[in-house]
Structure 1
Amino acid sequence: MSGRGWRKGSAARLTLLFTLLYGGFGALSPFLPPLLQARGLPPETIGAVIGAGVVARMAVAPILGHAADARRAVCRALAGACACSAVAAALYAAPLAGTALVALALAQAAAQAPTAPFADASAVSAAARENFSYGHIRGLGSAAFILGSLAGGALAARFGATAPALAQAALLAAAALAALYAPEPAARAPAEQGTMRWTELFALGDFRVVVGIAALALGSHALHDGFAMIYWTQAGASPFVASVLWSESVAAEVLVFMAIGPALLRRFGERGAFALAIGAAVLRWSVMASTAAPSAMALVEPLHGLSFALLHLTAMGVIGRAVPAASAALAQSLYGALGVGAATAALSLVSGVLFGRYGGAAFWAMAAMAGLALPLVFALSQPDGRRVRGGESDR
C-alpha cells in the first residue's frame, strides 16, 4: 500500500473506532445512575459505586498499559477491553440487584479503564507518524458522544432504563472489531526498543510537566462539571437555558478539536497553546465566580473549547513526541489516571464542600488552581527536529 493510501486508511479506521467508542460512552454514561436507581440502589450507594469505578479505572489502566506495551498488542488489548465492556453492558438486561448489580458496575468500570487511553495511544502515534490530524478524529469522537447521549435518552424514554445499556453494548462490540484494525502504536518502532516503567516515564521532564498541567488545569473543571447546572438553575436559569449553555461548551469542544485547535498549535506552538488554554480557564472560572447571569455564561461557556480541548490536544502532541511509541499505552494510561482521573476525583470531593459553603464564589479557587499551571508551561522543552503538535507532524 502506498504511503498516502496507508495514511488515509489509518485515519479512516481510527475515525470509525473513535465514533463507535465515544458513541458507546455517550449512550450509557449519563443514564447509568438512573438505571442503578431503577434497580433499587439508593443515592448514597450510587455515588459510592461511581467513585469506586473511578478508582478502579485509575488502578487498572496503567497495569494493562504496561502489559500491552510490552507485548506490542495495544490494539488487541483495546479490542478485548471493548468486548468485555460490551458484555458487561449487555448484562444490565439481566434482573440483577443489590450486590450483584454493584459488582457488575465495578466490573464494567474496570473493563472500560484502558479503552480511551489505548485509543489515544493508537491515534496520537499514528497521527505523528503518518502526518494527519489527531484533533479531527478526537473531535468526531466528541460529536459521537453527543449523538450517543441523545440516542440513549430517546431509547430510555421509549423502552426504559435498560435500553441505553443495550445500545452501548452494541456500539462497544462494534468498536472491538474496529480496534482490531487500528494501527499499533509501536508498529514501526525498532524491535530492540523496550518498554518503559512508570518511574522511567516520570523521569522524562516533558511528561512530568504535561501531567502536572493537566492535574491543575483540567482538574479545575471539577467544580463546573459537578455543580454548574445547579449554580445556573439556583440563579434563575430555566432547565432549557442551562442545557443550551452546556451544549455551547460541547459544541466549542468539537470545533476546537476539529478546526481551531490544530491551527492555534501551528501558530503558537506547544507553550503558547498551553498558556492560551490555561488563560481561558482562569478567565472562565473568574467570570463564573462573579456572576451566573445567562448572558455572561453564554459568552464564557465556549471557552471550554480552549480550556479543555486545546489543552488536551497540546498534551497529546507533547506525549507523542516525548514518549517512545513502545510505551505509548502506559504513558496515556498514566496521564489519564494521574493527570486527569486522580486530580478530578479529589477535586470533585473538594468542590462539593466549597460549593456548599461559598456557592459560586468557589470558582475563584478553581481560577487560582488553573493559574498555578502557568509556570509549568515554561518548564516544557521546545521541540526540535520534527515538531509534533496536537497529533500533527511538521515534516
Structure 2
Amino acid sequence: MNRLSAWTPEQRLTLYFMMMYGSIGLTGPFFSPWLHHLGVSAQMTGLIVALPSAAMVVAAVYLGSISDRLSDWRVAIIAFDWVILVLFCWIVFRHDVIDIIVVWTLTGLLIAVKIPILDGATLSLTRKRGSQYSRIRALGSVGFVIALLTGGFVFNVAGLDWFVPALVVGALVRAICSSMLPRFREPSSDTTMQISEKLAAPADNLGAPAGNLAMSTNSLTAPSLQGGLKHKGFIMVIAGSALISGSHAFFSAFAMLHWIESGISTLVSSLLWCFAVVMEIALMWCFTDVAKRLSSRHCMLAAGAMGIVRWSLSTTDQPVPVLFLLQGLHALTFGLLFIATVTFIARRVDDSMAARAQSLFATFSTAALAIAVLISGTLYKYAGVQGYWLMTGMCVFGIVLIMASYTTRLDDDFPM
C-alpha cells in the first residue's frame, strides 16, 4: 500500500487503462468464435453482439447522469467492475444461450457506459494537473494489443474452452485495479470550482489553455454550462462525429472475415488488425503536437476526409501491402476522431455534467454503429465489400454536419 501511495494519479490511471482495455482485448475479439465453438448460429450471434449496443442507447446518458451526482466518479467505475465480475462468474456455471444473452447484454452495457464516465473523469483530472489524457489512453491501447496477441496464442494452443476462465481472470484483474484509481474530484473544494469555471470557457483548440481562448472569443456565442448539451452547434458536432465513428461498422463486423475468405492467412489478418491499433497508439501519443496546429473540429473534419479515402479504396480487393496502408489510416479515422471529440466535449462542460456529456457522444456513436451493423449484414451478404460505400456516405454526412456547426456561432477554431 505504501508503494501504491507513492504512485501519481496518472500512473494509477495508466495501470487501470491498460488492464481495462487489456481485459477487452483478451476476450472481446474471440467472443464470436467462442459462440461458434458452442454451436450458436450466426443469426443468434449477431443478435447477442447487438444487444449491448441497443441497451446502451437507452440507458447510457441516464447512468452517466447518476454517476455525475456521486461524490466521485471512481465510485461508479469500481461498482460497475465488481458487478461485471459477478456476472461473468455466472457463465462459469451456466452458459446456455439464454444465460449468455443476459450476461453479455448486462456486462456489455456496464462496460459501454463506464468507458465515457472514465474518459470524462480522466480528462477532468489531467486538465487540472496539466498532464496528457491522450498518452494515458494510448497506453490503454497498448494493453489491448498485448492482450489480443496473448489471447490469440493461448486460444490457438489450448482451445476456446479457456475463453470463460480468461473472461473471469480479466474481469478480476480489472476490478482490483479499479480500487487503485485516484480520486477525481473534491466536491467541496474551492479550487475545483475555479477549475470548473475555466473548463466551461469556450475553447475549440485542443492544446490551448481555456482561459486564453475565452479572452479571444468574447464576441462569440458558446454553450453555457447548463445549456451546452442542448446547443444546436454542439449537437451537430457530436452527431457528425458519431456518424464518422459509426462508419467503422462494416469494417469491424466483416473485415477479418473477408480477408480470410480472400485467402489471407489468419496470422496476417490478425497482424493487419493489430497494425491499425498500433497506428492509433502512435497518433494518441503525439496528439499534443497535432493539437498545436489544428482545432478539435478541424481534427474531426480531417478524420472524416480520411474515412472517405479509406472506405472508398476498401470497396475493391487490395493487395496486402495496400491493406496495411489503409489500416494505417485507422490512426486518423478513429484515433484522431475519438481524442478530438472527447476533448471538444470536455472543454464545454464542467465536472457536474462531464460523465453525462461523454455518455451523450457514446450514445450517438453507438446508435450509429448499431444501425450500420444491422444494415452491413445484409450488404455484405448481397454486395460484399461494395458495402463500404455506405460507410463512405456516413463520413460525407458527418463532415457536412460538423461544417454546418460553424453557422450556429459555436465558438470558432483558434489553433494555438
- TM-score normalised per structure 2: 0.81
Q: Which residue of 1 aligns with 2:185?
A: 184
* Structure 1 contact 140–254 (Cα < 8 Å) conserved: yes
- Across the aligned residues of Structure 1 and Structure 2, the Cα RMSD in angstroms comes to 2.9
Q: Secondary structure at the match of 1:32?
A: helix
- In the alignment, does 2:239 pair up with 1:239? no
Aligned letter for 1:308?
F
Distance 1:123 1:78 in 2: 12
1:266-300 CA distance string (max 9 Å, x none) = 11222321222111111111211244222321222
Q: Secondary structure at the match of 1:178?
A: coil
The correspondence for 2:168, drawn from 166, 169, 191, is 166
Aligned letter for 1:360?
V
* Structure 1 contact 89–168 (Cα < 8 Å) conserved: no
* Structure 1 contact 257–313 (Cα < 8 Å) conserved: yes
Q: Which residue of 1 aligns with 2:231?
A: 204
- In the alignment, does 2:251 pair up with 1:250? no
Q: Which residue of 2 aligns with 1:57?
A: 56
Task: State the 1:16 CA deviation.
Answer: 1.8
Unaligned runs of 5+ in 1: 1-5
* Structure 1 contact 57–112 (Cα < 8 Å) conserved: no
Distance 1:42 1:234 in 2: 19
1:308-387 to 2 correspondence within 5 Å?
A: 308-338=334-364, 340-378=365-403, 379-380=405-406, 381-382=410-411
Distance 1:246 1:322 in 2: 34
1:134-187 CA distance string (max 9 Å, x none) = 1101111111112222333444443623221122222222233133x2423967
Task: State the 1:77 CA deviation.
Answer: 0.8
Q: Which residue of 1 aligns with 2:207?
A: none
Distance 1:27 1:283 in 2: 31
Q: Which segment drifts farther, 305-314 or 295-304?
A: 295-304
1:25-84 CA distance string (max 9 Å, x none) = 222212333444555544433322221122223323222111111234322111100111
> CA separation of 1:141/1:168 partners in 2, compared to 1, >3 Å: closer, same or farther?
same
Q: Which residue of 2 aligns with 1:229?
A: 256
Q: Which segment drifts farther, 14-23 or 288-297?
A: 288-297
Task: State the 1:112 CA deviation.
Answer: 2.3
* Structure 1 contact 57–110 (Cα < 8 Å) conserved: yes
Unaligned runs of 5+ in 2: 198-222
* Structure 1 contact 152–163 (Cα < 8 Å) conserved: no
- In the alignment, does 2:357 pair up with 1:302? no
1:331-361 CA distance string (max 9 Å, x none) = 11111112x1100000011112222222222
> CA separation of 1:34/1:267 partners in 2, compared to 1, >3 Å: closer, same or farther?
same
Aligned letter for 2:330?
H
| Ranges of 4+ aligned residues in structure 1 off by more than 6 Å | none
Distance 1:110 1:361 in 2: 31
Distance 1:360 1:281 in 2: 15
Distance 2:86 2:153 in 1: 22
Q: Which residue of 2 aligns with 1:97?
A: 96
Q: Secondary structure at the match of 1:283?
A: helix
Distance 1:74 1:165 in 2: 25
Work out the number of aligned pairs and report it.
Answer: 375
Task: State the 1:201 CA deviation.
Answer: 4.9
* Structure 1 contact 18–119 (Cα < 8 Å) conserved: no
Task: State the 1:367 CA deviation.
Answer: 1.5
Q: Which residue of 2 aligns with 1:287?
A: 313
Q: Which segment drifts farther, 297-306 or 359-368?
A: 359-368
* Structure 1 contact 216–369 (Cα < 8 Å) conserved: yes
Distance 1:109 1:162 in 2: 15
> CA separation of 1:185/1:213 partners in 2, compared to 1, >3 Å: closer, same or farther?
farther
Distance 1:100 1:286 in 2: 40
1:6-45 to 2 correspondence within 5 Å?
A: 9-39=8-38, 41-45=40-44
Distance 2:24 2:307 in 1: 25
